[in-house]
Structure 1
Amino acid sequence: MSAPSHRISRIEAGEIRARLPQNIKRVPVFAPALCRVRLGVKRIWLGEREMSAGPERLVLLPAGIEADIANLPGPDGYLADIVSLPPGLLNDFRLRHGPLLLQQRPGFELCPRLEPRVESAWNALLDSLRANDPPEMSAHHACGVLLALALAGQIEPLLRPAAGGITERVRHLLLLDPAASWSVDMAARRLNQGASTLRRHLAEEGSSFRGILESLRMGLALQQVQNGERAIADIAVSSGYASASRFSARFRQRYGLTPSELRRTL
């Protein structure tokens, strides 16, 4: 498995591997995701909160957060499985199991201890995804993981909706085809708005079209660099940069290291 591409309409699985420590700043989470570290330790900084997870924990990554992450290898390296979930699946789960969700533990624990029932459901989901089962079967197993988390009182952070408003609508639109030659006029037409109206509404939410597009493309670029399969120059072009050097400088400004430096940790 490779890094997930975060298509928001289906469940996707991937692996994150490292031989050397990875310290990456401002990692965006586009779709709700679950992560299980098999080797090594993952550390997460969300604002002033610091969390840590090894094989005995499951990491819950709500959509819309941006966190600093360190992937720290053990003697045999670092290896983690990650599964991205479509928001629609979580919305259906909320509607189906509303009374159960009222019983969740208070707080915002992103790295709960992996209870036996949750671990069993997680393994079944990974087996289904690795076997390329029909999407309906994988969705059934994903709901099994969510139900096990809910019964353990651990699911509340994952079900928190991302910030709404026009910013989220634009982000979802761009996720349909991140590499397209997007412009604010094109996005406005797709959202049945005028370009000036769209700019004004984004500004009211403290964002901008260019900022959303760059954040999205850089987030996907991070996944491709970690995947290790595409040349960095090709990733730069698909991220909207004609110059690999400019892409590298922007990547370092955002994540704290260059694409080549990150590749050397794999």
Structure 2
Amino acid sequence: MQEMHIRHQDLTTAEVRSSHLHRLHRVTLFSAAICHITQGSKVIIQDDSRLVAGPGELIIIPVNTPLEIINQPAQNGFRSDLLLLSPEIIARFKTMYVQDYPPAKYDIAVYPDEP
């Protein structure tokens, strides 16, 4: 598995590439993240919830939540882009754009990257 990292102020990016299936047990991110799958698929398991995301889909991953993550390569491998969001950038976003927000519910979600 190959990773490339770039850090700029409050954002960190990483590109994950793999030619083999990788199963990561009890992964906990220390920053909230947005993951864009570009090749292959990613399975995220949290308790009894199982999410499968494929090319063109976005996954929002909460901070401090133990997950099982499986990167499944397609014929040409697995590839995803990861954007880690610092607590500072999330706080600024809430201050600027969110008036009253409910307490966060820690769950996993997947969204298509096109409307």
TM-score (norm 2): 0.83
Tell me if the contact between 2:65 and 2:106 (Cα under 8 Å) persists in the aligned partners.
Answer: no
> Where does residue 129 of structure 1 map in the other structure?
none
Aligned counterparts, 1:151-166, within 5 A: none
Q: CA RMSD in A?
A: 2.5
Partner-residue secondary structure (3-state), 1:76:
coil
Partner-residue secondary structure (3-state), 1:71:
strand
Tell me if the contact between 1:21 and 1:72 (Cα under 8 Å) persists in the aligned partners.
Answer: yes
CA shift digits 1:4-41 (9 cap, x unpaired): 48x8x621111111111111101110111111111000
Identity %: 23
Separation in structure 1 between the aligned mates of residue 12 and residue 18 of structure 2, nearest angstrom: 20
> Where does residue 80 of structure 1 map in the other structure?
80
Separation in structure 2 between the aligned mates of residue 38 and residue 96 of structure 1, nearest angstrom: 31
Structure having greater relative contact order (Cα 8 Å, sep ≥ 6): 2
Q: Does residue 2 of structure 1 match 2:39?
A: no
Q: Specify the code of the residue in structure 1 equivalent to 2:3.
A: S
| Structure 2 gap segments, 5+ residues each | none
Partner-residue secondary structure (3-state), 1:64:
coil
Separation in structure 2 between the aligned mates of residue 2 and residue 72 of structure 1, nearest angstrom: 16
| Structure 1 gap segments, 5+ residues each | 117-266
> Where does residue 90 of structure 1 map in the other structure?
90
More helix per residue: 1
Aligned counterparts, 1:93-242, within 5 A: 93-99=93-99, 108-116=107-115
CA shift digits 1:151-183 (9 cap, x unpaired): xxxxxxxxxxxxxxxxxxxxxxxxxxxxxxxxx
CA shift digits 1:189-213 (9 cap, x unpaired): xxxxxxxxxxxxxxxxxxxxxxxxx
Separation in structure 1 between the aligned mates of residue 88 and residue 34 of structure 2, nearest angstrom: 16
Given the superposition, is the C-alpha separation of residues 109 and 68 from structure 1 closer, same or farther in structure 2, using an over 3 Å criterion?
closer
CA shift digits 1:189-238 (9 cap, x unpaired): xxxxxxxxxxxxxxxxxxxxxxxxxxxxxxxxxxxxxxxxxxxxxxxxxx
> Where does residue 57 of structure 1 map in the other structure?
57
Offset of residue 114 of structure 1:
2.0
Tell me if the contact between 1:21 and 1:71 (Cα under 8 Å) persists in the aligned partners.
Answer: yes
Separation in structure 1 between the aligned mates of residue 113 and residue 101 of structure 2, nearest angstrom: 19
Offset of residue 95 of structure 1:
1.3
CA shift digits 1:56-94 (9 cap, x unpaired): 310111111110010000011001111111111111111
> Where does residue 13 of structure 2 map in the other structure?
13
More strand per residue: 2
Q: Specify the code of the residue in structure 2 equivalent to 1:45.
A: I
Q: Specify the code of the residue in structure 2 equivalent to 1:13.
A: T
